[in-house]
Amino acid sequence: MAKPKLVAAGTLESELAGLLTTRHNLQTRQTAIAAELEQAVARRREVLIQGSDAAATAEAERACRDVESTSAGIADALAEVERRILATEGKIEDARIIGEREAAAAILERDGKAIDTAAERVRQAVADLAKAQSALAGAITVTAAPHFARHDFHGRRSGEAPEHVAAYLTGHMIATMLPGIEVSEAGRQERFGWLSARPIEATDGETPAKPLLTDPLREVAARVRAGEASPDLPRFERPEPDFAPSVSQEQIFILEPFRYTRREGYLPEIVTHVVSTIPAPVAKRAIADGFASRTEPQNIEALKARRRGFSQNLDIYTLPDLGFDLGAWIEEETARRRATWLAEQGRQAA
């Protein structure tokens, strides 16, 4: 949006002062000419009453006309000066309003710039804090985490994961340094159920890692060195998640009916409909073996015609066996995922 044109206030004030002076002078002249007009009218009246000659009467009339013309000119000039005074005062008021608006806008823009600069510093500090918190979580090993000395109504929280210990210590420091911000541990799913968010109260000083973790570590270290504690240190072992895969369904086009095993000991599952939705691992094998396709075949109408009434008096064992056991696949995939996870944790399968 274009800014309104701003006229210098000093120029307008000077113009107004000149107009006010002119008005005063004209008003003074108007007062004087009013007296002259009154005298001219009185002389003309007297000439007319006395019946003077035509020359005297004409002179009296001319004198009245001259004074009246001058008075009318002064009145017209005064009216124009009044108009200009009003216009100039309006310009001065407009300039005042524009000045106030510009000053207010400049304040907001100045504040916005200052806030952006300060907020960027906070953003950078938070980014640095995130990196530092990640480094703290990496520094808390599986042999250090069990010495976390934080207590709540369940007792000592010595079974916390390293990342949860780091999150608590970082949140504690934030709560200490920034008392105007409420800090809580995030809610999370545990083996025993959902753990609700828990507020963090700054009760362990501004360096909570010392009383809650490193001091207990050093105490145990001294006891181990003195032979008062076992060197076989406790370790945090992350609970095993559920490794069983979620088996999705996939819609495919069946080129040739087939059967597969859903689980050992159960009757085979048969797939005969031209358009079928089956477990994705089964679909993948069927497509690989030429029994099905993800794209619609050109002879789909012919396939549908051949399949009508196909299942009547059908011996399921006459259908080609896909040779795929879905239950066995799930067990193998679960074992593979568990072995990968254990390797990542540096543990061996029991």
269-290 confidence digits (pLDDT tens): 999 999 999 999 999 999 999 9
Q: How far apart are CA 101 and CA 104, in angstroms?
A: 5
Q: How far apart are CA 184 and CA 171, in angstroms?
A: 7
The least confident of 11-15, 20-24, 57-61 is 57-61
More confident residue, 8 or 302: 302
Three-class SS state of 81? helix
Three-class SS state of 30? helix
Measure the CA dihedral 340/344/349/350, to 10°. Answer: -150
Query: Which tokens hold the place of 245?
Result: 């895969």
For the chain, the domains span 9-135, 145-225, 249-344
- 3-state SS, 123-178, equals HHHHHHHHHHHHHHHHHCCCCCHHHCCCEECCEECCCCCHHHHHHHHHHHHHHHHC
Amino acid at 289: D
- Say what the pLDDT of residue 88 is: 87
229-248 confidence digits (pLDDT tens): 999 998 888 888 889 999 99
pTM of the predicted model as reported, rounded to 2 decimal places? 0.60
Burial of 214 (0-12, 13-18, 19+ CB in 10 A): middle
291-323 confidence digits (pLDDT tens): 999 999 999 888 888 887 666 667 888 889 999
**Distance linking the first and last C-alpha atoms of the chain:** 73
